[in-house]
Every structure is written in C-alpha cells, then in structure tokens.
Structure 1
Amino acid sequence: MLASGSHDRTIKLWDVSTGKCLKTLRGHTGRIWCVAFSPDGQILASGCENQTVKLWDVSTGECLK
C-alpha cells in the first residue's frame, strides 16, 4: 500500500500492484505536506500546511485524532 497527500486536502491510499485508489481520506483543512505509516502499517500520520497532524486507521479510513 502507498499513501499520497495532495494540495486538494485529501490523502489517497493506493494498491501498488493494481494502481487503484482504495480509499480517499478527508479531514484536513490545508494542503497535505507529509504522510507516514506506523511500523505495523495500521496507522497513518498526516501533516498539513496549517501545522495540524492527524492519525488515521488505515483499514477503516477513520480519523483517530
């Protein structure tokens, strides 16, 4: 799985083998500057231009914090 952040304030989770978008995560109010998976791949952290960090459940797409 690959995560990408965008200037449209969304994060997309991609299936690397097929190239298909699996989920689109929404919740940031600014452009996404960085994304990183936890070591076990279950949580995604994202940061945006307004200095907000969010944590996401990768399996559900739910914003945890």
Structure 2
Amino acid sequence: MATTTLSRPSNDKWIAGVCGGLGQRFGINSNLIRLAFVLSCLLPGPQFIVYIVLWIIMPKKASY
C-alpha cells in the first residue's frame, strides 16, 4: 500500500529510513530500492549526497 506523503518510517529502516520511505511512497519493496542504491554506488555520481539530502529533508513518519 503506497502512502500519499514521503516520510521516513520508524519500522522499515536500516540506516536512516530513506529507502524504506521511498518504497512505501511508491509501492515498491524497500529492499529493491536498497539494492538499486548499492548497485548505483558502483557508478560515478552524487548518490551519497542525494541520500544525505533526502535524509535531511524527509520528515520522520509520526508513530501513533
């Protein structure tokens, strides 16, 4: 089930929850997003900078 907002979940995170939040937002398994991120790190580019920026701007999901 995809959520309507982009937020970092507290129950589906390994480091900061960015991949878990992206997975929940777009209805994709978060482990596939993690795998894509790790594989993309083999290529040159700003992957770590994008991850850190998303970590900063994505709010934590409120736990009820």
**Which is higher, the Rg of structure 1 or of structure 2?**
2
Q: Give the structure-1-normalised TM-score.
A: 0.23
Q: Give the structure-2-normalised TM-score.
A: 0.24
Which protein is richer in strand relative to its size?
Answer: 1
Which protein is richer in helix relative to its size?
Answer: 2
Task: Tell me: higher relative CO, structure 1 or 2? Use CA pairs within 8 A at least 6 residues apart.
Answer: 2
